[in-house]
Structure 1
């Protein structure tokens, strides 16, 4: 087992890893930019080291700075959290070349799943169901017209190197195809430096279902059920729950076994998430995230496992402690992502926290790096807290979330707390009857966009 781990991240996820290290008796090293010198993850770690100025490119994305921090502090392994360098194959290779351990999958798997076309082809070869679409990239509008006509409209054009909804456009018919195609390519070029796109059949009312998988890198793997992440704004998840309100035990077992088998055949190491669109009882592969997800706590809640602890164990070469026949669901969990944003336009709202009070009580977990007087910097993602609740069933979890939201106090900045209070009043939310398009339509109606 490692003696010391460096966490190459910030905020609540850095705290999450620091806590796991503490429970395992492992020393932790926090890295931080000059803007984060007073951050909670810096205060909670056993050691901290400044790696650069506020811009992520000069600090949290600086591979030389992070590797130098390992050398200075004597850390033997790096946990990347999520975002930043967590899915950067070049960084993983550099970590290994420096004789350090990356707590996550191998570079080859990150590279394989980082390219959307390669990922889809790999998934198909492994027996994972995929959305009908083009065979590889679509180079020009003439090919786009032919491919779209063959599969039928509407279609969606996606950037090969895409993510977060960028380089993604829907064409309802042939008349809209050319503008959508050219716009998607331009966005992809600007965002990722790669204008290659591919085309898929556009599903009308799907849900976003993701399967949590975990492998030991030696051909053993398990699945930990699904999370429903259908409540999204501009392709960004807002609320997640597990298990999915519309997934039957038979569907869970079927798709879970397919995903676990695929991960085992890849000899994948660590945590991963295979994401699907789900419509009319069928699953269609979107992508695989080769890291810990923001919403991993809802899976931890219903299965009673510590995914970060398991990541560290497997990276250190210890046997995976998870066995499929010992994994069973207990109750229902929901996560609300609390952002420092101003409604109704969701503009970032950085600033000083004048008062912070976290909710408590049975079945309530608050993952946050906030404290009274903390200044939220303007340089990073606006996620400031994750409120996770667990109940015996979905009805109890919803009631517990409503109660916890009313206990939560974050003063000094604008937040999305009122959004969740309003959402929980909606009959569709109470019934679990929503698709990936539901939230944006509701926001248009309630907030004007």
Structure 2
């Protein structure tokens, strides 16, 4: 069996290692450059590879192709593979049959990293032998090759879900759905929504789907479509006989007739959206039969995720917050919504078809100045130029932070929450967040 891996990054190299271990004839092809560290791993494992090209004769003879999530379906080589009827799958689909481990799959437009990390923290604190993979950390396929874990918490993007055929998580979570990555879905929101719901398409009556019952896109889909999984909703406003909800400043989760309660103020993560993430993670912990005391302790000591509403420093009574992971309007909505002081907002980057109107009320209420940090800031200026008193354009992070310091007064907050991708000025959102933190520390 010939396995061709498109993309020589974390998921590609992990898949190549697992494929080789399982007796496939493996070839890795990357249209860009493969990082030196990954080349070394391929060479050590005697896996054939090429970079900066796709040699068709070595690819179109595949029995199965694993495509890295970053490569769009519209890429010429992918189109040719599909025309020939060669299955093009994701890393998760390739690796899943080789493990007996229980998987918990988490998807959503926002909150999936925090929910994934929190769920992992809950299960690990309870002493479960659990791995963490998907969009985070070491590739799932490579961890399956090492065969160390009884269960995995997987953060799954819509791109990874597009490449599944038979994969099903035992427990699936959809944190929320808002327009994102529409450039990859023919600018049709419904295509993107369907893509997220692929997480439940192979689930059976023995599996679970945990979802945000306050989310319009999710509720609409569930009204019109069927899943066989057992549904476990969570909500800030509704209550359930089975599910998780907030009542009188208390989080309650009722699952399999067992009740769990915890005061919301004891939960370490702040903000309404984080109560939702906590409800989702708690629902998993209850399904995995983790003790109440362990759940309580884990929720009260969880540190949060880097680049997601991360408090950096307080300087002259001004709080600097790094929310670089907010790459769409919905994520920035949560960030602005959780601000309690006058805010200087650093925003901008590569726009994925943003509609800034959703932020208008929050900007009027909370934002005193906007610093645009992008190559093209026209849409932001058009949207908010008449709404805030101060609007400044900069083209590097140091200038953004210095300008923010000049504008702020005691008691203000400086919030980096770009609502955009980072590729115009930075390598990725992590690079953007680290540069912000470095600039703040240099003040």
Q: Which has the larger radius of gyration?
A: 2
Q: TM-score, normalised by structure 2?
A: 0.28
Whose strand proportion is higher, 1 or 2?
Answer: 1
Q: TM-score, normalised by structure 1?
A: 0.28
Q: Which has the higher contact order (CA 8 A, sep 6+)?
A: 1
